[in-house]
Amino acid sequence: MARVGVFICHCGSNIAGKVDVEAVARESASIPGVAYSSHNKYSCSEAGQKTIIDAIKENRLDRVVIGACSPKMHENTFRNTIRQAGLNPYMLEIANLREHVSWVTEDRDAATRKALDLVRSAVGKVAFAKPLTPGKVPVEKRALIIGGGIAGIQAALDIAGMGYEVVLVEREPSIGGRMAQLDKTFPTLDCSACILSPRMVDVAQNPNIRLLSYSEVESVGGYVGNFDVVIRKKARYVNESKCTGCLECVSKCPVRKIPNEFENGKAMRRAIYVPFAQSVPKVPVIDKNHCQYLLSPDPSTIEVKEGERKPRRRCGACKIVCGQDAIDFEQQDEFIKEKFGAIVLATGFNPFDHSKYGEYGAGRIPDVITALDFERMVNSSGPTEGKILRPSNGEKPQRVVFIQCVGSRDEAKGVPYCSRICCMFTAKQAILTREKLPDAEVFVFYMDIRAAGKGYEEFVRRAQMEYGAEYIRGRVSRVYESDGRLIVKAADTLAGLPVEMEADLVVLATGSVAREDAFELASAIGITTDSYGFISEVHPKLKPVEIPREGVFACGACLSPRDIPDTVATAGAVAAKVGILFSKDFLESDPMVAEIDPFKCAACGACVAVCPYSAITMEEFRGKKFAKVNEAMCQGCGTCTAACRPGAAQLKGQTDEQILRSVEAVLQW
Amino acid sequence: MVENPEFKVIGFFCNWCSYAGADLAGNMRLNYPADVRILRIPCTGRMDPLFALKALLEGADGVMVSG
Across the interface, do A114 and B39 touch by the CB < 8 Å criterion?
Answer: no
Cis previous bond, A134, omega within 30? no
Please say if the pLDDT value at position B4 is more than 70: no
> What CATH number labels A4-133?
3.40.50
**C-alpha separations of B59 from A121, A615, B53, B63 in Å:** 15, 37, 10, 11
For chain A, percent of residues with pLDDT exceeding 70: 100
Residues in A touching B26 (Cβ below 8 Å):
70, 98-100, 103-104
pLDDT tens digit string along A156-197?
Answer: 999 999 999 999 999 999 999 999 999 999 999 999 999 999
Instruction: Specify the CATH number for A235-332; select among 2.30.30, 1.10.3470, 3.30.70, 3.30.450.
Output: 3.30.70
Please say if the pLDDT value at position A453 is more than 60: yes
Average pLDDT over residues A564-571: 98
Whether residue B60 lies within 8 A of chain A, CB to CB, comes out as: yes
The total of other beta-carbon atoms located within 10 Å of residue A491's CB is 17
Whether residue A124 lies within 8 A of chain B, CB to CB, comes out as: no
Across the interface, do B39 and A662 touch by the CB < 8 Å criterion?
Answer: yes
Q: Give the minimum alpha-carbon distance from B1 to chain A in angstroms, rounded to a whole number.
A: 8
Q: Which residues contact A642 (CB under 8 A, 6 or more apart)?
A: B45, B46, B47, B48
A653 sits in the region (left: phi over 0; alpha: psi -120 to 50; else beta) called left
ipTM above 0.90, yes or no: yes
Across the interface, do A664 and B37 touch by the CB < 8 Å criterion?
Answer: no
* Region of poorest pLDDT, from A325-334, A381-390, A514-523, A648-657: A514-523
Sequence length of chain A is 669
**C-alpha separations of A234 from A172, A217, A473 in Å:** 10, 11, 48
Task: Suggest the residue from A663, A666, A667, A668 to mutate for an interface test with chain B (most B CBs closer than 10 A).
Answer: A663
Please say if the pLDDT value at position B1 is more than 50: no
Residues in B touching A651 (Cβ below 8 Å):
42, 46
Residues in B touching A96 (Cβ below 8 Å):
23, 38, 40
Q: Cα(first)–Cα(last) distance of chain B, in Å?
A: 33
Whether residue B7 lies within 8 A of chain A, CB to CB, comes out as: no
Confidence of residue A137 (pLDDT cuts 50, 70, 90): confident
pLDDT tens digit string along A404-447?
Answer: 999 999 999 999 999 999 999 999 999 999 999 999 999 999 99
What is the reported pLDDT for A633? 81
* Region of poorest pLDDT, from A176-185, A243-252, A338-347, A632-641: A632-641
* A window 616-635, beta carbon within 8 A of B: none
Name the CATH superfamily, with its identifier, for domain A135-234+334-348+515-582: FAD/NAD(P)-binding domain (3.50.50.60)
Residue ranges with strand state E in B1-67: 9-14, 36-41, 62-66
> What CATH number labels A593-651?
3.30.70.20
Please say if the pLDDT value at position A310 is more than 80: no
* Cβ atoms of residues A30 and A56 within 8 Å: no
Intervals of CATH 3.50.50.60 along chain A:
135-234+334-348+515-582, 353-513
- Backbone CA torsion sign across B21, B27, B32, B36: positive
Residues in B touching A592 (Cβ below 8 Å):
42
Smallest Cβ distance to A666: which of B10, B27, B42? Answer: B10
What is the reported pLDDT for B3? 59
Across the interface, do B42 and A98 touch by the CB < 8 Å criterion?
Answer: no
**What is the C-alpha separation between A155 and A202, in angstroms, rounded?**
12
Intervals of CATH 3.40.50 along chain A:
4-133
> Among the residues of A220-370, which ranges form H helices?
248-252, 292-295, 317-321
Whether residue A637 lies within 8 A of chain B, CB to CB, comes out as: yes
Confidence of residue B5 (pLDDT cuts 50, 70, 90): confident
**CATH 3.30.70.330 holds for A353-513:** no
Average pLDDT over residues A210-216: 97
What is the reported pLDDT for A510? 97
Residue A230 or A363, more confident? A230
Confidence of residue A556 (pLDDT cuts 50, 70, 90): very high
What is the reported pLDDT for A519? 82
Across the interface, do B34 and A107 touch by the CB < 8 Å criterion?
Answer: yes
What is the reported pLDDT for A523? 85
Please say if the pLDDT value at position A468 is more than 50: yes
Nearest to A81 by CA among A118, A25, A42, A23: A42
Average pLDDT over residues A489-502: 96
pLDDT tens digit string along A348-381?
Answer: 999 999 999 999 998 899 999 999 999 999 999 9
Task: Suggest the residue from B8, B14, B30, B38 to mutate for an interface test with chain A (most A CBs closer than 10 A).
Answer: B38
Q: Which residues contact A150 (CB under 8 A, 6 or more apart)?
A: A177, A178, A179, A196, A199, A556, A564, A567, A568, A571
pLDDT tens digit string along A33-63?
Answer: 999 999 999 999 999 999 999 999 999 999 9
Report chain B's mean pLDDT, rounded to a whole number. 92
3-state secondary structure at position A401: strand
Q: What are the residue boundaries of the structural domains of chain B, listed by start?
A: 9-66
Whether residue A434 lies within 8 A of chain B, CB to CB, comes out as: no
Report chain A's mean pLDDT, rounded to a whole number. 95
What is the reported pLDDT for A103? 97
In chain B, the residue whose alpha carbon lies closest to the alpha carbon of A72 is B20
- Backbone CA torsion sign across A552, A557, A562, A567: positive
What is the reported pLDDT for B2? 46
